[in-house]
């Protein structure tokens, strides 16, 4: 079965920023080996909305993605993925998700971020749609200083495996080996 990786970028990101182009090239090779890798170009990246981003994700992937789909979200992209997964029909699952710099709370919320924080997510439905969920956090993310609480919330709400990278900040570099390593170790190509 064909495996696909769908990447949803961060707030104010684009498919050609951060680690996305580098990762696209790396995950097409063993041991990860995705047949299809798409970094979505989300609408209004400087002022993302829940409806706009979840709709764009649904338009790109479909109302029901292939069970062999892995999602990778970065920052607000994680929120969009969760909300999309919560909208899937009951009983439908995907291979999993890697959520990078994921958050439920931030230190200083701005007005256009507030809906992402205040609009509830159906965690039970999102969790049921994921066969595996891995969250990659840093101990010095400038947006979520309480990384221990953030990690605990992901474990409690999604049953996620949380990996902490010392000094990883918000994972905005052109190369992010920790992201690649998680994909390679947790989502290696089936033999």
Edge to edge, what strands does the sheet with 36-40 contain?
36-40, 4-8, 69-74, 96-100, 133-138, 161-165
pLDDT single digits (tens) 107-146: 999 999 999 999 999 999 999 999 999 999 999 999 999 9
Q: Is the pLDDT of residue 2 over 90?
A: no
Q: How far is CA 161 from the centre of its chain?
A: 13
How many helices and strands, by DSSP H and E, does the chain display?
7, 6
- Report how far residue 53's alpha carbon sits from residue 129's, in angstroms, rounded to the nearest whole number: 19
* pLDDT recorded at residue 128: 97
CB of 97 closer than 8 Å to CB of 71: yes
Q: Read off the pLDDT of each residue in 160-188 and give the average, rounded to a whole number.
A: 96
pLDDT tens-digit map of 69-101:
999 999 999 999 999 999 999 999 999 999 999
DSSP assignment letter at 30: T
Q: What is the CA radius of gyration of the chain?
A: 15
pLDDT more than 90, % of the chain: 93
Q: Against a cut of 0.75, is the pTM above it?
A: yes
The DSSP annotation for 157-181 comes to HH--EEEEETT-TT--SS--HHHHH
Which DSSP letter does residue 37 get? E
Q: Is the pLDDT of residue 1 over 70?
A: no
pLDDT of residue 42: 98
Please state the CATH superfamily assignment of the domain spanning residues 4-186 in this structure.
Alpha/Beta hydrolase fold, catalytic domain (3.40.50.1820)
């Amino acid at each position: 079965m064909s495996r696909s990786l769908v990447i949803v970028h961060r707030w104010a990101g684009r498919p050609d920023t951060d680690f996305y182009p580098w990762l696209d090239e790396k995950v097409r090779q063993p041991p990860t080996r995705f047949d299809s890798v798409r970094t979505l170009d989300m609408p209004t990246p400087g002022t993302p909305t829940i409806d706009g981003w979840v709709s764009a994700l649904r338009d790109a992937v479909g109302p029901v993605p292939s069970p062999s789909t892995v999602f990778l979200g970065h920052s607000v992209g994680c929120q969009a993925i969760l909300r999309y997964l919560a909208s899937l029909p009951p009983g439908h699952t995907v291979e999993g998700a890697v959520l990078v710099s994921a958050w439920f709370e931030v230190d200083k919320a701005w007005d256009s971020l507030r809906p992402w924080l205040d609009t509830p997510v159906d965690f039970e439905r999102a969790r049921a749609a994921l066969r595996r969920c891995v969250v990659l956090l840093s101990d010095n993310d400038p947006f979520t200083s309480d990384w221990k609480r953030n990690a605990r919330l992901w474990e409690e709400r999604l049953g996620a495996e949380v990996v902490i990278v010392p000094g990883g900040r918000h994972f905005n570099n052109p190369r992010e080996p920790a992201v690649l390593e998680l994909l390679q170790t947790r989502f290696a190509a089936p033999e």
